[in-house]
Amino acid sequence: MEISDKQHAAERAVEYIKNGMILGIGSGSTVNYMLKQLARRIEVEGIQIKGIPASKKSEKLANELGIPLTTFAEHSHIDLAIDGADEIDEQLHLSKGGGGSLVREKMVDSIADYFIVIAGADKLVKKLGAFPLPVEVVPFGWEVTEKRLQKLGCKTSLRYQEDKTFISDNGNYIIDCQFETIAEPEKLHQEIKSLLGVVETGIFANMADEVIISEQGNLRSMKR
């Protein structure tokens, strides 16, 4: 049976998981493949790991698959984090948050000793920006925060899901910001972060240690 590029990259990343690790579990459809393969390794090889999930969706799937989970209250350190991305540029800067989990993903991915991104080649771009940049904002006064974001030169839209305002796992809103291209990801991240009402941006600059890409079944790895 032919498997998708997402699944292929995800299954390769599972080979990096070692017995005893605390694993940061990102979120999204690529990560779901990672979780399914990890569950197989736990069943077949009996490896013992504990995961810290970056979204309620990942937590639910991990529980369904019988993957042991833990929290930051018990472990303040993560050995390895594996996560997906919406865009990956040539410097391995990422745009994330298509699934709305960017805050928890950034907390989990940033604390890991080693952070691996898994994706199909369709996520590779020269410069970030074609995918609207998700920005998590506090609901109170979001209209004011949106105007502040627009002043940075983007078109904005408040994220909806099934005709209702999308609410993140942290109880916040997401404003998707369409910049033409993001020339300097770290600089733009800092500018957005300095705005009152902003919780976090989906720019993950200088964070990925390794990106595993599958392109029509061929795997490749890029390191920072």
Active-site position among 59, 87, 105, 136: 105
Closer by beta carbon to ligand 5RP, 7 or else 145: 7
**Measured from the CB of residue 9, what is the shortest distance to ligand 5RP in angstroms?**
10
Residues of this chain that interact with ligand 5RP (CB under 6 A) are 26-30, 83-86, 96-102, 105
Catalytic residue list contains 105? yes
Phi and psi at residue 204, in whole multiples of 5°?
-110, 85
**Measured from the CB of residue 106, what is the shortest distance to ligand 5RP in angstroms?**
10
E-assigned strand segments in the chain: 22-25, 50-53, 78-83, 87-88, 94-95, 112-120, 133-137, 155-158, 160-161, 164-165, 173-178, 198-201, 203-204, 210-215, 218-223
Inter-CA distances, 130 with 124, 149, 192, Å: 11, 17, 18
Closer by beta carbon to ligand 5RP, 48 or else 157: 157
Closer by beta carbon to ligand 5RP, 21 or else 203: 203
**Measured from the CB of residue 127, what is the shortest distance to ligand 5RP in angstroms?**
18
What residues are annotated to the active site? Answer: 105
